[in-house]
Amino acid sequence: MTDAFHVPNRILMGPGPSDVAPRVLAAMAQPTIGHMDPAFMALMADISAQLRTVFRTKNEMTMAMSGTGSAGMETLFANLVEPGDKVLVCVKGVFGTRMVDVAERCRAEVHRIDRPWGQVFPVEEILAAADRVKPKMVAIVHAETSTGAHQPLEGLGAALRERGALLLVDGVTSLGGAPVEIDAWQIDAAYSGTQKCLSCPPGLAPVTLGPRAVARLEARKSKVQSWYLDLSMIRKYWGSDRLYHHTAPVNMLYGLHEALRIVLEEGLDARWARHLAMHKRLRAGLEAMGLKYVSQEGHHLPMLNAIGVPAGIEDAAGRKRLLEEYGIEIGAGLGDFKGKAWRIGIMGQGADARHVELILAALRSMLAKG
Amino acid sequence: MTDAFHVPNRILMGPGPSDVAPRVLAAMAQPTIGHMDPAFMALMADISAQLRTVFRTKNEMTMAMSGTGSAGMETLFANLVEPGDKVLVCVKGVFGTRMVDVAERCRAEVHRIDRPWGQVFPVEEILAAADRVKPKMVAIVHAETSTGAHQPLEGLGAALRERGALLLVDGVTSLGGAPVEIDAWQIDAAYSGTQKCLSCPPGLAPVTLGPRAVARLEARKSKVQSWYLDLSMIRKYWGSDRLYHHTAPVNMLYGLHEALRIVLEEGLDARWARHLAMHKRLRAGLEAMGLKYVSQEGHHLPMLNAIGVPAGIEDAAGRKRLLEEYGIEIGAGLGDFKGKAWRIGIMGQGADARHVELILAALRSMLAKG
């Protein structure tokens, strides 16, 4: 017989999941009720409204998909792309690369532009490519979790709107930790995950679609290739029709509701300021030890700090020591940064002085011992 | 500010989710850890082993997909079908109909055979269609949740193997409540859900693929159209490679692990016998009130009892009374049975004398009052 699973004592400072508040865990442990229960329908309406506030949007089609952040990515490509559509993807890390793969599987005609890992795109560079390609949609990652780079988005949406292209944004790591201004920045569609700056366990993907994206969806000539992620049906479950589509992950939604309550109790401005303040504190400490960011100067993400692996420390062995001696999880480098970078997350509940001082102390001790 | 969500006191006797044991809810409320944590990897290996026992299989590729049961359906079609492949789908309710839709979206050449809702297919009828169509795969629902019909599967797998066709089975409602013999019945691929007879909250889809299905996967000429559900990558995360694909829904997997421990503590034979005994008790009580099953005589599912809406009771009003006066959720009819049938689930934790006697008492009282 398999033994019961007892969770080891961890402090989550990787690229997500982040530490989850006890209130959220307690909410998830409430008894399961039916996915068509009137009380559950009211909960879903609450979550839509909470997500609108967090996404800074009036978009009616705002909800949580029943999968993790990558399911959010796939949802938007599968619903907004028809075979042969030109899509411009801006690639500067793992998640931009993943967008290319997902868009190709949706049979888009994919055009990609690339920046070296760790860097961001100047808006003009994206617009020049858009003028050349004339895409129906431009897709870009706001917070590239694999590199720690913070992509500026201001001005991009308005300029693409003039060009008739939709703007699709990956806000997985930024939502709740830095401004994501769906309406003000004229972002047509965005997705996120719950396990980063919202500090909810992984398993849901918040998405929001504006009027131009909804019009694209409604004008489709072909069925969405994914039944599970087909928004034309899911909107009838989350919307006032309340038509059964699939069985929602009920307890996960209890957790998201409570996590969003915590976000909104704090307030978005205060939450963004907290992430930034903790980032500055962490950065000062890291740089005092001689550790260097691998992301572009002036474009570091507050919640995801990607630094070079300290000289004299072996990547995997160093992370193992942090996990075993301190219970601290940090993230390994991916792709171009594999073996070369460490990713230190201070997300949601984890963006506080305790987390920051602990990782700094652990790193100082490790560097001193060598 | 949105109020905290407090779950109403419900007794779940619909088509799922079923009542979840406090042990499972407590397991889910443990702190979130990383999806690449060695302790979490060990948990995943445990879950694979537990699922092999529950599916009665030695299939190495046995795991839980990060979505609900419908994501399990889509996973198997998306991975096992290439555009133009002939697929034979046996339709006798909502979930067979859904299979047709999903297979078409995967660009299969879909051939369907139909039986009236509530009935099952004689194996010979399926084989005759297979001889005519010569499909690469035959898909069928074992426990049709929309009709309460229990499809016999013995002999089908062996006969299809002779014909070179894979057998794909939907075991969403049967797994853990009635025999699902993957190896003995020569089922090549099957999926299930967690929220039925496993009595775990919804959000995960157990799947298992045998050697012939894995060979089909490995011989694909085209990429799987879903990135999120692509088993060629997910097997490297669940398998010994432990390569990152997406962020697993960590706390949901804590819950599934504990739910499967409960299933295996009881033992499959005892669990199946309990579901059958409670079905007989429920049926005797229902028939004593003059209520009639809408599924085919001799093929009633033990865990999902579909009966005609009692004479003199209006469908929606009757279900509302059960919910408001007793806190009991039962299921409405779907499709051909919309407005005509009620679905009473006795699944997992819900297959006990308390649930059976309570619903019988509530129905008796309602019929007496009219």
Q: Which residue of B has its CA nearest to A193?
A: B247
Quick check: is B5 in a domain?
A: no
- The closest CB to that of A5, out of B106, B195, B257, belongs to B257
**Pairwise CB contact (< 8 Å): A70 & B251:** no
Interface mutation vs chain B, best among A3, A7, A77, most B CBs within 10 Å: A7
Of A242, A264, A286, which closes a domain? A264
- The closest CB to that of B39, out of A2, A8, A39, belongs to A8
Quick check: is B103 in a domain?
A: yes
Interface mutation vs chain A, best among B227, B230, B234, most A CBs within 10 Å: B227
The distance of A117 to chain B (nearest Cα, Å) reads 19
Which residue is it, tokens 């997406």? B246
The distance of A11 to chain B (nearest Cα, Å) reads 8
Helix (H) or strand (E) run with residue A134 in it = none
Distance between terminal CA atoms of chain A?
Answer: 43
CA dist A294 and A91 (Å) reads 16
| B287 and B353 inside one domain | yes
Q: pLDDT for B354-365, tens place per residue?
A: 999 999 999 999
For chain A, say whether B6 makes contact (Cβ under 8 Å): yes
pLDDT at B369: 82
For chain B, say whether A170 makes contact (Cβ under 8 Å): no
Question: Residue A125's CB: how many other CB atoms inside 10 A?
Answer: 13
| B140 and B234 inside one domain | yes
pLDDT at A369: 83
| A218 and A278 inside one domain | no
**Would you tell me which residues 175-214 of chain B have a C-beta closer than 8 angstroms to some C-beta of chain A?**
193, 195, 201-203
| A251 and A159 inside one domain | yes
Quick check: is B31 in a domain?
A: yes
Are the C-beta atoms of residues B182 and B55 closer than 8 Å to each other? yes
- The closest CB to that of B201, out of A68, A101, A251, belongs to A251
| A314 and A353 inside one domain | yes
pLDDT at A370: 66
**Which residues of chain A lie closer than 8 angstroms to B338, CB-CB?**
none
**Pairwise CB contact (< 8 Å): A70 & B203:** no
DSSP annotation of B203: S
Quick check: is A340 in a domain?
A: yes
Q: What is the mean pLDDT of each run of 10 residues along chain A (370 residues)?
A: 94 98 98 97 97 98 97 98 98 98 98 98 98 98 98 97 98 98 98 98 98 98 98 94 93 98 98 98 98 98 98 96 97 96 98 98 91
pTM above 0.95, yes or no: yes
Are the C-beta atoms of residues A162 and A180 closer than 8 Å to each other? no
**Which residues of chain B lie closer than 8 angstroms to A261, CB-CB?**
1-2, 4
The tokens describing A363, both together, are 């790193």
- Expressed as residue numbers, the domain containing A361 is 11-16+267-369
Quick check: is B6 in a domain?
A: no
| B259 and B277 inside one domain | no
**Pairwise CB contact (< 8 Å): B202 & A5:** no
Name the CA dihedral angle for A44, B93, B67, B327, rounded to a multiple of 10 degrees.
Answer: 40
CA dist A109 and A22 (Å) reads 46
Q: pLDDT for B164-220, tens place per residue?
A: 999 999 999 999 999 999 999 999 999 999 999 999 999 999 999 999 999 999 999
Quick check: is A87 in a domain?
A: yes
pLDDT at B370: 66
For chain B, say whether A220 makes contact (Cβ under 8 Å): no
pLDDT at B241: 87
Interface mutation vs chain B, best among A227, A229, A233, most B CBs within 10 Å: A227
| B294 and B186 inside one domain | no
- The closest CB to that of B28, out of A4, A28, A247, belongs to A28
Quick check: is B1 in a domain?
A: no
| A92 and A235 inside one domain | yes
- Asked if the interface predicted TM-score (ipTM) of this complex is over 0.90, the answer is yes
Quick check: is A97 in a domain?
A: yes
Tally helices (H) and strands (E) across chain B: 12, 14
| A195 and A291 inside one domain | no
**Pairwise CB contact (< 8 Å): B7 & A33:** yes
**Pairwise CB contact (< 8 Å): B7 & A265:** no
| A196 and A141 inside one domain | yes
For chain A, say whether B348 makes contact (Cβ under 8 Å): no
Of A227, A245, A264, which closes a domain? A264
Of A213, A237, A264, which closes a domain? A264
**Which residues of chain A lie closer than 8 angstroms to B263, CB-CB?**
none
Q: Which residue of A has its CA nearest to B254?
A: A5
The tokens describing A120, both together, are 């961001």
Q: What is the CATH number of the domain that holds B55?
A: 3.40.640.10
**Would you tell me which residues 89-148 of chain A have a C-beta closer than 8 angstroms to some C-beta of chain B?**
98, 101-102, 104-106
The distance of A157 to chain B (nearest Cα, Å) reads 27
Q: What is the mean pLDDT of residues B151-157?
A: 97
Total tally of structural domains belonging to chain A = 2
Are the C-beta atoms of residues B151 and B142 closer than 8 Å to each other? yes
| A224 and A275 inside one domain | no
Are the C-beta atoms of residues A294 and A118 closer than 8 Å to each other? yes
**Which residues of chain B lie closer than 8 angstroms to A28, CB-CB?**
25, 28-29, 251
Q: What is the CATH number of the domain that holds B310?
A: 3.90.1150.10
Q: Is the pLDDT of residue B51 over 70?
A: yes
- The closest CB to that of B105, out of A2, A46, A227, belongs to A227
| A113 and A260 inside one domain | yes
Across the A:B interface, residue pairs with CB atoms under 8 Å apart total: 249
Beta bridge partners of B64: B206
The distance of A154 to chain B (nearest Cα, Å) reads 29
Question: Residue A303's CB: how many other CB atoms inside 10 A?
Answer: 31
**Which residues of chain A lie closer than 8 angstroms to B329, CB-CB?**
33-34, 37
